[in-house]
Structure 1
Amino acid sequence: MRTFHVVIVPLVNPDGSHGYWHVSTERGRTNRRKDEQAVELGLYEYGVDLNRNYPFQWGSVEDRFNSADPRSPFFRGPAAGSEPEVQAMMKLGEAWRFVAMVSYHAAATRLLVPYTVEGAREPKPSAAWAVAPAMIDAVAPVQAGKRYEAVRHLYPVAGTDQDWFYWSFGTLAYLVELPFVSPGPRRPLAPMVEGARGFWQVLLDRFLDGPALTVRVPESFRAEGPVTVGVEEISWPNGERFTAHPESGVFHTYLPAAGRYTVKATSASGKTVSHPVDVGTSRVVLALTEAP
């Protein structure tokens, strides 16, 4: 079956966007939510940088771009996941368990590959880094022949959406830094949008064409609660624990390369079932069954 559910979130920060376009271009980074602390301090500029507020490694970096100071445009918020916009995105992730994701920011002509926070170690081998070169190759050079570049981050950063989705579900979550801050007469929007299509088109094709896996866990395992699914040849060193979707019992994942892999499912009570599978240049659908 070569079909997808594609979920589009047009805008995560509508209040910040309104401030940028209709009040001042000095605004736009924060969500413009005036909490009790902002009221107490009498702040004119306030709100939380939403891409510092996600729970994974929240607060592990403290500098001008990751701040505990509510007066900073990079304020990470009073607590991890404190903001309604972040909570909404987390609920969306829980509901869908996305296999891949692209979020758009500006402006550096970069493709940020998870993990972006320094405190997290990369899985070995990394499918995110294995897929990134094809994404870059699919996008035409921008102004003056400049090409996108795949990087870990632009500067030390923590509490990002892509890291949280990657850590929570194994989602190949990329962040695209578009070439320009905002469109205008000399920087039309259409070429920017069209030029970035290759990123998500590669993700769709790469999952369908593989190497990738779709795993169905035993129904008896699902009856006990969350079912953990892992690929034994890929090590995740940050306490990652991926589970099959609670309704469908399915787990999707990209693989870094063709080869032989061992898929293991563990029920809530500790029962396990594993199965070796050879994956070539295609996606493999594997239905695990409990041993009699």
Structure 2
Amino acid sequence: MALFVYCTNQIPLYSMLNNPLLALCENRNVLPKNNEKSGSPEEWFSNHLLSAHGLLGINFDFFVNWFSSPNTLSSPIWIKQVLSVDKGYPDFLDNVKQNLIDRFGAGFIKSLLKFSMNFSLKSSFIILDDHQDWSNAGSKVCIVDVNEDFSFNAQLLSIGNFKAAIQTYSGGRVYVGSKGLIYGTTNLECELSKTDSAYPGDMDMLLLNEDADPVAIFEFKKHTLSNDVSTQTLSNYYPHKDGRKYDRLAVFREYILEKSGCNVPMLILYYPSSSKGEYGRVELVDGTPGKLTVKASGKFKLPIDKSSAEFERMANLIPKFIALSR
């Protein structure tokens, strides 16, 4: 699960919409461990830095129909944002287009739209007044569809209708487990994780080129244990424990391959939460859903601090990570 949420571009300060924040579901004041010295991939790969390579990073939630055989990708992709505590849906709905442009920038939204159109997907922004009681049938979610003419259609859905939409796009009822999520990026996700309409998983970073075509899929995996990050590998989590997480990325990759003929590399970046760690690890994952394997791997030196020079060095590694697939 991504720690930043739903776009990796450098966004100007704007008080109405905010990135969701990963926190303990039972106590939203408790945040996960972070590497205070080196930072995280969300900082290393901001679109401000990626733009020097002609790249754009997007992060979004997406659906897989788990009840089809084989599993297939559903068309919606969702980018989630949370309203500030002093704002409500009327404030946002007063000028939907301008509020989204102020938050993301017109260029980002146009690239998102072009990617969606090129691959027969439907982009929407999910806007949340996340201080509602999501167990209350009267709570509402705002969904904003981005249209081909760069117009925006906004609607408020009851939580019941929103859950029904999740089940439709997932092919049926979807569960996290008997206890739900431990950490979640919103109160909504935490609440839905205890129901049969669990919120969809996400793409940590899909890299697009200047034509809005995908060039790489990235999964960021934080290593929180005391042993060295070199022990981190796909088989620790796949096919058991987190099998569905990685299979959903593989379903997405196969969809892109079918539409474009391009076999987009799928990369996992492992990085330590401890500031004592000096290296991270990257793995190139290959294969089909249910049969994923590691094709190549390597290590990289973490930033020694959070300086712009060190983050730029990390962004410069992106082409080398992608080259593992050659």
> Shared fold by TM > 0.5?
no
TM-score by length of 2: 0.29
Query: When you count strand as a share of all residues, which structure comes out higher?
Result: 2
> Relative contact order: is structure 1 or structure 2 higher (C-alpha 8 Å, sep ≥ 6)?
2
